[in-house]
């Protein structure tokens, strides 16, 4: 897995990049009550706002971590946004995408670097 400074994680599965938020981010948000996802087929550029997430504490945007195309979204989050709190690294992924340039992931943190980052 790779991690961004915006507390997102990326995992490559058979050439598809799965994107979610870290446990740290989920804890900081508190109880998630609403998730608005992008549409599959949407082309995105790195740092585009693609997901809106609202919790009892705050509203936040999830940014596209790399350039590419959204290929699938996790509809389960729309019906059950609390999944983000229950399983942020598993069932609560936000979207899957194909990368326009997968080398963008080379600049991201590995798990050890991310743990040091959140310290």
- CA 30 from chain center: how many Å? 16
CATH numbers and ranges of domains, the chain: 2-101 (2.40.50.100)
The predicted model scores a pTM of 0.94
40-77: pLDDT as tens digits: 999 999 999 999 999 998 899 999 999 999 999 999 99
% of the chain surpassing 90 pLDDT: 96
């Amino acid at each position: 897995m790779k991690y961004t400074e915006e507390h997102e994680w990326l995992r490559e599965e058979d050439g598809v990049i799965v994107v979610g938020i870290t446990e740290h981010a989920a804890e900081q948000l508190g109880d998630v009550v609403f998730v608005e996802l992008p549409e599959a087929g949407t082309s995105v550029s790195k740092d585009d706002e693609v997901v809106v997430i609202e919790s009892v504490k705050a509203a936040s945007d999830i940014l596209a971590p790399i350039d590419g195309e959204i290929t699938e979204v996790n509809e389960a989050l729309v019906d059950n946004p609390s999944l983000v709190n229950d399983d942020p690294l598993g069932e609560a992924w936000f979207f899957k995408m194909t990368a326009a340039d997968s080398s963008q992931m080379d600049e991201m943190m590995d798990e050890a670097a991310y743990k040091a980052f959140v310290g």
